[in-house]
Structure 1
């Protein structure tokens, strides 16, 4: 069976699906399966000139927005690159970004398309202060979900929480399947260690949606109580200067280390003690599963797909979003009780191995892919 995995970001890009699919490809290497990856290179800009039309809505009513114009031009570029580069037919296309799926279905209308929606671009833009709720951009991006449902042969997402989020914007939410992201256990090698000072770590893009301002305020409360810790920030993004200034203002700059972008953070994570990320929104939160496989104690917020991974008090701790004091209290619990911290980390690791292994995802995908082959 000839399969195409259509990404938006190239596989070497950080985070989530783009870093997962190459490991998926390795598991499909056999005479029975042939899998290729496809994505849009960063250098491709403003090449596409094709007229864009959607089948379920008129995008031009939102065309005054620069954000919408950029989205449409990126779609044109993806169409142009797809027509230029893909010369052979596939039995099935699995797209992992709305632009990728819509472009593939336009170029190959007779090829079955599975579309996985991994995250909510509109929520990210709202939380990061780039668009207004219910504005032109928001309405446009919500309309894309209906177009995807209309065009794709099967719609998937990564958590029950995100399926509920999508429900108002599609006609048949009950038909949306759920396959969580899978992670190759071989990448994660927990290492026994005993740090004299608790090592906190977070891995994310530095944007407002990740709630790092809340984390910094919680860490300031911990310092005011006399607790020693080091906070490691792995990742980069547009608000890094603001976060560095906030750390200085709160008096925690000496306890905070900014690493910038790191291609393989899983190589560092086993040396830390606690993974913490007070996100304001997460469709799934892949980095929690990665931290769990590194055998770290997990502290997260009660948003999106995070509570599907963390059972509060059993394999991690959950706190309300936007609550620095609750976050500080949760961190204090795992900092002061190493035995409790270890039990949470061990339980998190066991659950991640059971529910979020790459092998499990591969098996579910193979079953689904073969259904399409049987229907052909």
Structure 2
């Protein structure tokens, strides 16, 4: 039996999906499964020329929109690359992106195909002020969910909350299965440390949807209250300069270190005390599980998959999005109470080791694969 794990982004791309699937693939290989990993290199752009058809809606209604045309060109490019590189036969294809699933179903129409929908591109674009809710781009991107439902054999997603989100766009949401992300625990090495100054850390792409403006405003409040801290910001993105200027304006630039992109932030995280990310939406929020496995106290927003990972006051603390005062109050509880901070960190670590283990994901996927084959 041969299974193709198909990513959109290459494995070295930052982010939960691209960093997780290669470890899943390796885990299956160690159990003697024949598994191949495939993705689209960054250098492949503008190569595909195929006509694109959709079965459940008329693409003519969306043609000509610049963002949609760019998205569809990526579909063509993936099709061009996959046609060149994938010459064999597969017993199952597991795609980890909607366009990847549609592309490979076109190339392998008789092969059972699974798609895991890890996040919402349209939600991110709306929160990052790139498109309007219910605008033409939004309608096109959400129409793809119905196309997937009609064409693939199994739909998976990563949280109950995101399954609920998808239910608005498909006919049979009860058929969607949920398999939360999992991580190779060996990548994460908690370190005993006693920082004289509290170390806060956040890891994300620097875009409006991550709510870092709220975090910087909360840091300003904490500083005004007389607390010492350092905030480590790992990641890059289009609003980095804007965030650096906001740090200057809020008079917290000296307390913040902007690192830019880091390939393996899990090697750096264990030296910190508190992980905080006030996202406005997250389908799962892999970085919270990663921070928990580094044994950090967690502070996140009560949205999406974050709220499924954090049980408030048990293994972390939840706040509302866009509320710098509440975020400052919450961080202050952890900064000023070492015992409480360590209690939260250990509870997060214990839960993550059980609930977000790589073995659990492999076991669940093995059941899906076996059922599909029979």
User: For the superposition of Structure 1 and Structure 2, which TM-score range results when normalised by the shorter chain?
Assistant: over 0.9
Partners of 2:367 and 2:80 lie apart in 1 by 32
Deviation digits for residues 274-326 of structure 1 (CA, Å, limit 9, x no counterpart): 00000000000000000000000000001111110000000000001110000
Give the aligned partner of residue 212 of structure 1. 212
After the TM superposition, list the runs of 4 or more consecutive aligned residues in structure 1 that deviate by more than 2 angstroms: none
Give the aligned partner of residue 28 of structure 2. 28
- Over the aligned positions, Cα root-mean-square deviation in angstroms equals 0.7
| Mapped pair 1:326 → 2:321 | no
- Give the number of equivalent residue pairs: 374
Give the aligned partner of residue 192 of structure 1. 192
CA displacement at 1:63 relative to structure 2: 1.4
Give the aligned partner of residue 227 of structure 1. 227
Give the aligned partner of residue 266 of structure 1. 266
**Aligned to 2:168, what secondary structure does the other structure show?**
helix
**Aligned to 1:305, what secondary structure does the other structure show?**
helix
Q: Please, which runs of 5 or more residues in structure 2 have no aligned partner? A: none
**Aligned to 1:168, what secondary structure does the other structure show?**
coil
1:114-263 aligned at under 5 Å gives the runs: 114-263=114-263
CA displacement at 1:31 relative to structure 2: 7.1
Partners of 2:341 and 2:314 lie apart in 1 by 10
Partners of 1:26 and 1:106 lie apart in 2 by 27
**Aligned to 1:41, what secondary structure does the other structure show?**
coil
**Aligned to 1:115, what secondary structure does the other structure show?**
strand
| Mapped pair 1:102 → 2:102 | yes
CA displacement at 1:228 relative to structure 2: 0.3
1:340-359 aligned at under 5 Å gives the runs: 340-359=340-359
Partners of 1:220 and 1:155 lie apart in 2 by 44
Q: Please, which runs of 5 or more residues in structure 1 have no aligned partner? A: none
CA displacement at 1:243 relative to structure 2: 0.3
**Aligned to 1:147, what secondary structure does the other structure show?**
helix
Report the TM-score when normalising by structure 2: 0.99
Deviation digits for residues 57-88 of structure 1 (CA, Å, limit 9, x no counterpart): 01221113101000111001111111111011
Give the aligned partner of residue 43 of structure 1. 43
CA displacement at 1:371 relative to structure 2: 1.3
CA displacement at 1:32 relative to structure 2: 4.0
Partners of 2:10 and 2:64 lie apart in 1 by 29
Give the aligned partner of residue 81 of structure 1. 81
